[in-house]
Chain A
């Protein structure tokens, strides 16, 4: 069920224009875009096109970097990360659909650093739903949704992108 009228594509267009301002203000030239599997990849691809970045999208699957591995174990069917370029010295735009505890972003940054030392990493998310457990903040946020306990937000896609809020 969806109880907020939420136009995902419009939000993505907003993120693109705010990212352009952000990158210009920070003098971050020739950035690379990386999406976190799976929803983050859908959004990242749209951002890459919106920012007119020719270099291909990076796919991050942080399954091997999760901090709950010893409790939860292996996830079935881990599609490997694909970083089709060297990250050394580059400005990275890391993209996820929902920012919640911040643990996924921490894991993603650990993985990125196993590929090299980027010049910078900035974070863009469609939704910041609060509940951060780590000092992780996004540089560009589509929307802030403060969810009640027991509510979950999930991005369905890739075509069309629909945001769903579920109550468990």
Chain B
């Protein structure tokens, strides 16, 4: 998917944010640094800065989401933007036409930025190619393709605890095939020059040829967790059971569930991450999810700072702006 060029303007600044694939280390680090500055806004008496005053941001969600939509909304409001949430039920009509018409309607309302969540891979890119020059698009997750703000908040959370990326071993565990988070995380970890990236899961949930992204594949959970510094658990979507990719939830937990016993195989200071929402007792044991190695709730807070950083970088410094 051609992602890199459309995301940057002529001066190499962020114009859309669609995927971590093709963004260089300079841009990713810049987002993390800005997020660090924005993180403290949440601790102030007035949790607001006036950077995006007068801008209109539309959360355009074609797929259900709670934390992504909410944290985008809070982030936009902390930047003083006006936010409109739109949940669109995708009908079975031709997708392209539906999207295009929706966009035209919204553009007529003079919006400055769209946050897109869509079940189809490539939807955010498609929309970014359609919008007028003054409108920017942020991908809030599209199909199996990408979820770049989730990846950046994961990198931010890792950096808070373990700033030396080059020394890290990171395991991404679970349903990699259907996970946009896994893809975006892998690209970001690769760009930030993490020492070793592992994907761990049953053969049926690891896409063939994923090694070409520069990751090591482990079908054995114990071997995959050995000595890692970070474990990123993926949500197991229950509908996978019906599609015969897995025998049962109990069987999955027995083989790939993250338990306290298994976590002992990892490095002593291991961090446990999960993009949420978590399935307790399916991919992760409650004692691990709520345990002292877990940073799952920090990830949620960090999501606000990352989304503020991305929105501010996109909205600021546009040529021709007043």
Contact = CB atoms under 8 A, between A and B. Distances in A.
Contacts of B313: 73-74
A76 interface: yes
A53 interface: no
B46 A74 contact: no
Nearest to A114: B46
11 contacts: A63-B37, A64-B37, A64-B49, A69-B316, A70-B318, A70-B321, A72-B316, A72-B317, A73-B13, A74-B34, A78-B37
Contacts of B45: 114-116
B44 A70 contact: no
Nearest to A65: B50
Interface in A70-125: 70-74, 76-81, 110, 114-116
A144 B45 CA distance: 37
Contacts, number: 56
B interface bracket (residues with beta carbon within 8 Å of A): 20 to 34
Interface of A: 61, 63-65, 69-74, 76-81, 110, 114-116
Given A64-B49, A115-B45, A70 B37 contact: no
Q: Is the interface of A mostly helix, strand, loop or mixed?
A: loop
Contact of A71 (B46, B48, B49, B321): B321
B30 interface: yes
B30 A76 contact: yes
B301 to A, nearest CB: 15
Contacts of B315: 70
Contacts of B127: none
Contacts of B13: 73
B322 A71 contact: yes
B51 interface: yes
B211 interface: no
Contacts of A114: 44-46, 48-49
For the complex of A and B, list the 5 residue pairs with the smallest distance between their C-beta atoms, beginning with the closest. Answer: A73-B317, A73-B316, A64-B49, A114-B46, A78-B37
Interface in B193-228: none
